[in-house]
Each structure stands twice: as C-alpha cells, then as structure tokens.
Amino acid sequence: MSQLPKPDTAELRAKYPGVFERPASARLAMPVVIVAALVIFAYGLVDLDFSPSRLISGMSQLGWITMMMIPPNPGSSFPLYMQALGETLSIALLGTTLAALLALPVSLLAARNVIPSNLIRFPVRRFLDSIRGVDTLIWALVWINVVGLGPFAGVLAIMVSDFGAFGKLFSEAIEAADRKQVEGIRASGGNALHEIRFGLLPQVLPVIAGQVLYFIESNTRSATIIGIVGAGGIGLQLAEQIRVLEWQKVSFLILMILIAVAAIDFISSKLRFAIIGQRAVV
C-alpha cells in the first residue's frame, strides 16, 4: 500500500485558519446567547411575581382541584353539554369554510405569480398580516359588540381570524405552484382567468383542501375557547362551571372536548389522505 504523505499540521493551520480556529465571534456566540436567555428568564421570574411559596401553595391548591375533579360527572346537564358541543363543532366548521371561501380570491391578489405588481400585493399582504395579528378572542369580543352574545358571533370571529391565516397560506401554496402548466394554458391561447382556473387551481386545490381540513381541526380548539368570552359553544359552559367551582363538571367538559378533538382529528386525517394521497401536508 502506498503511504500518504504525512500532513504538515502547522502548514495546514496557516493555510486554513478558518477550519482550525473558528473566529472568536462564532465560539462566543453560543455561551453569550445562553447567558442572555437565562438573565432574561430570571428577570422575568422576578418581574412576574414568581415566588417558591406561591408556587408551592398553588400546586397544593391544584392538587386539591384535581382530586375534586375525579370522577368526572356531568350531573343532570349532559344533554345541555352535548348541545353545546354540537354548537362548538358547528362554529368551527362554518367559520373555517366561510373563511376559506372568502380567502381564496384575496389570496390570488397576494400571490407573486398571479399579481406581479408590488403595488397591490404589498397592501393586501399587510392587511392579511394585521388581521392575523389580532387574536380570535379579540375578534370574538368585537363581533359580540356587533351581533350580540351567542354562537353566531363565534362563527364570525373564527371566519375573520382564519381569513387572515388562509390568505397567507393559500397565497404561499399558489406561489409554490408549477409555472409550466400556466405557461401551457397561455400558449394554447387562454386568458388570465383560464390560466388561474386550469393552470393554477388544479395544482393548489388539494393543498388548500388539506389546509382547510387541518384548520377545522385546530378551530375546534379555538371554538371551545371563544365561548369563554360569551361567543357560545362548550367554552361558555366550561367557563361558567370553572367560575362556580363545579370541578366534576369541569373535568367532564374537558374530557368531552378531548374526545371531540380526537374524533375530528381522526376524521380529518382520513379525509386529508383521501384527498391528497399519502403526501404530507402542513
């Protein structure tokens, strides 16, 4: 076997200083970041009134509450809770669907390959961003001011806040679409609308359907919480029972939410695979 020439370490070191000695900035970056993170964390603990005694007494309280929660028991309100759960699922489904329908045309305006001009795209994007910046709960409060307490306000709240999210996701899906099919349509004499209908939509619809299903799933969760501010559904019952300290009912309601979410999860993942095949989405 031929022997490789022995490497001259000193020479190599001189030749590639970057490999042997990382610059000080790179070596120091990690410890500095960690120390800074810990300092902010400690400051946060102090500023937010964390104290071991509070933590311990709270934990023991929490232990008590957990004990009181067992066994879960709806009392005589089971039919009421089922109805509330139905309301929640309806809110999630309707809100998401309406949001998707509204967001589709707007997302075309926000996609670079449909509207090349920055003049329209930029304001549309910022508009969607601002809608997304406001939490669903805040939208729920606003809609309650408009249409009154009840599940309808919840539907509208979910619709508005998802509109922002969908607008962004859809426009990203559209931008990721293959350019060639659009070019093919244009080459055969199609106009701009034809390009969208036959070139873009067939590519993006499965992706969009997957995202909508995923959102219906996650909105089941959102729909439970907007009840807390009075927008109907099971969250309303949950918040009420927590306020009057009926822990057995609380645990039952939480259990119901968990089961409902798991069921929706299961159904929508089945549907998603049916629509898009085994390709992973989101």
Partner 1 sequence: MATAVSILPAPQLAVLKDTYRKAVARKRLKAALAVAVFCAVLVIAAFGAEVNLRTLFTYFGNFVSYFDRILTLDSGARVWTDPAEWFWGWHKWLKMLGETLLISYVGTLTGAVFAFALNFFAAQNTSPGPWVRFIIRRLLEFARTVPGIVFALIFVIAFGLGPMAGVLAIAIHTTGALGKLFAEIVENADMKPVEGIRSTGASWLSCMRFAILPQVSAGYASYALLRFEINVREASVMGFVGAGGIGQELVVAIRKFYYSDVSAMLVTIIVTVFIIDISTGWLRGRLFGKETRR
Q: Please give the Cα distance from 73 to 68 (Å, whole number).
A: 11
Task: For 6, list phi and psi in degrees, rounded to 5.
Answer: -65, 130
Segment near partner 1 (CB under 8 A); pick from 20-28, 58-66, 109-117, 173-181: 58-66
Token pair of 145, please? 């001011």
Q: Please give the Cα distance from 253 to 134 (Å, whole number).
A: 27
Query: Which position among 26, 32, 35, 37 is part of the footprint of partner 1 (CB under 8 A)?
Result: 37
Q: How many residues bind partner 1 (CB under 8 A)?
A: 63
Query: Which position among 262, 263, 266, 267 is part of the footprint of partner 1 (CB under 8 A)?
Result: 262
156 interacts with partner 1 by CB under 8 A: yes
224 interacts with partner 1 by CB under 8 A: yes
13 neighbors 19 (Cβ within 8 angstroms): no
157 interacts with partner 1 by CB under 8 A: no
134 interacts with partner 1 by CB under 8 A: yes
Q: Is 245 helix (H, G, I), strand (E, B) or coil?
A: coil
Query: Which position among 254, 269, 273, 276 is part of the footprint of partner 1 (CB under 8 A)?
Result: 254
Q: Measured from the CB of residue 252, what is the shortest distance to partner 1 in angstroms? A: 13
Task: For 209, list phi and psi in degrees, rounded to 5.
Answer: -60, -40
97 interacts with partner 1 by CB under 8 A: yes
Q: Measured from the CB of residue 13, what is the shortest distance to partner 1 in angstroms? A: 25
Task: Tell me if the bond preceding 71 is cis, omega within 30° of 0.
Answer: yes
Q: Please give the Cα distance from 158 to 99 (Å, whole number).
A: 8
150 neighbors 232 (Cβ within 8 angstroms): yes
Q: Please give the Cα distance from 74 to 59 (Å, whole number).
A: 25
Nearest to 144 by CA among 233, 237, 230: 230
122 interacts with partner 1 by CB under 8 A: no
Give the CA radius of gyration of the chain. 27
Tell which positions 192-211 bind partner 1, by CB under 8 A: none
164 interacts with partner 1 by CB under 8 A: no
Query: Which position among 229, 236, 256, 281 is part of the footprint of partner 1 (CB under 8 A)?
Result: 229
160 neighbors 131 (Cβ within 8 angstroms): yes
246: left (phi over 0), alpha (psi -120 to 50) or beta: beta
192/266 with CB nearer partner 1: 266
121/125 with CB nearer partner 1: 125
114 interacts with partner 1 by CB under 8 A: no
Q: Measured from the CB of residue 50, what is the shortest distance to partner 1 in angstroms? A: 6
41 interacts with partner 1 by CB under 8 A: yes
Token pair of 67, please? 């004990």
How many residues can be counted in the chain?
A: 282
Query: Which position among 115, 142, 201, 276 is part of the footprint of partner 1 (CB under 8 A)?
Result: 142
Q: Please give the Cα distance from 152 to 135 (Å, whole number).
A: 17
Name the residues that contact partner 1, by CB under 8 A: 37, 40-41, 43-45, 47-50, 54-55, 58-59, 61-62, 65, 86-87, 89-91, 93-94, 97, 129-130, 133-135, 137-138, 141-143, 145-148, 150-152, 154-156, 221-222, 224-225, 228-229, 232, 235, 238-239, 242, 245, 250, 254, 257-258, 261-262
